[in-house]
């Protein structure tokens, strides 16, 4: 069973998108693998304190993207292959880096300072 313990509400972006991204990152990280069972809608709903309909919406979109499969009465399963993983990985990384670089450039931050900031933040998250 996939764990959603580390799932946290973040920014103001739609919850169903946050769920999708959480799953996508888990797939890229390898903590979510082909054949894994997703938690049921109701269970995840209670787990992270979100309405079942919102979970349903996220699951439906994951299904549309071919990331999970749902059969009525049975648990939903992850269905991915290496090709899909690489596609997701590239897409997520591009989004992350691009938004940071754009933002920092607008603030007049130098590349060196940016890299230093990242490195610091990386270390701080390890032993907070």
Interface residues with DNA (CB under 7 A) are 12-17, 38, 40-43, 49-54, 56-57, 59-60, 63, 70-76
State whether residue 78 is helix, strand or coil. Answer: strand
User: Which does residue 97 touch among DNA, a copy of itself, none (CB within 5 to 8 A, set by kind)?
Assistant: a copy of itself
45-60 burial code (b ≥16 CB/10 A, e <16): beebebeeebbbbbbe
Structure tokens at 4: 């959603």
Residue 86 in contact with a copy of itself, rule: CB under 8 A: no
Q: How far is the CB of 87 from DNA (least distance, A)?
A: 22
65-100 burial code (b ≥16 CB/10 A, e <16): eebbebeeeeebebebeeeebeebeeeeeeeeeeee
Residue 37 in contact with a copy of itself, rule: CB under 8 A: no
Do the Cβ atoms of 49 and 32 come closer than 8 Å?
A: no
**The only residue of 49, 83, 106, 127 in contact with a copy of itself, by rule CB under 8 A:** 106
Please give the residue ranges that form the binding site for a copy of itself (CB under 8 A). 6, 10-14, 17, 21-22, 25-26, 28-31, 51, 64, 73, 89, 92-94, 96-109, 111, 114-115, 117-122, 125
């Amino acid at each position: 069973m996939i764990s959603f313990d580390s799932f946290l509400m973040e920014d103001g972006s739609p919850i169903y998108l946050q769920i999708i991204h959480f799953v996508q990152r888990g797939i890229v990280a390898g903590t979510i693998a082909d054949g894994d069972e997703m938690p049921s809608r109701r269970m995840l709903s209670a787990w992270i304190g979100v309405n079942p309909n919102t979970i349903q919406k996220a699951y439906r979109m994951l299904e549309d993207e071919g990331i999970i499969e749902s059969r009525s009465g049975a648990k939903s399963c992850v269905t991915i292959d290496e090709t899909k993983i690489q596609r997701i990985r590239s897409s997520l990384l591009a989004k992350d880096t691009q938004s940071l670089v754009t933002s920092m450039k607008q603030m007049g931050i130098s590349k060196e300072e940016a890299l230093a900031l990242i490195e610091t933040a990386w270390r701080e998250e390890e032993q907070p």
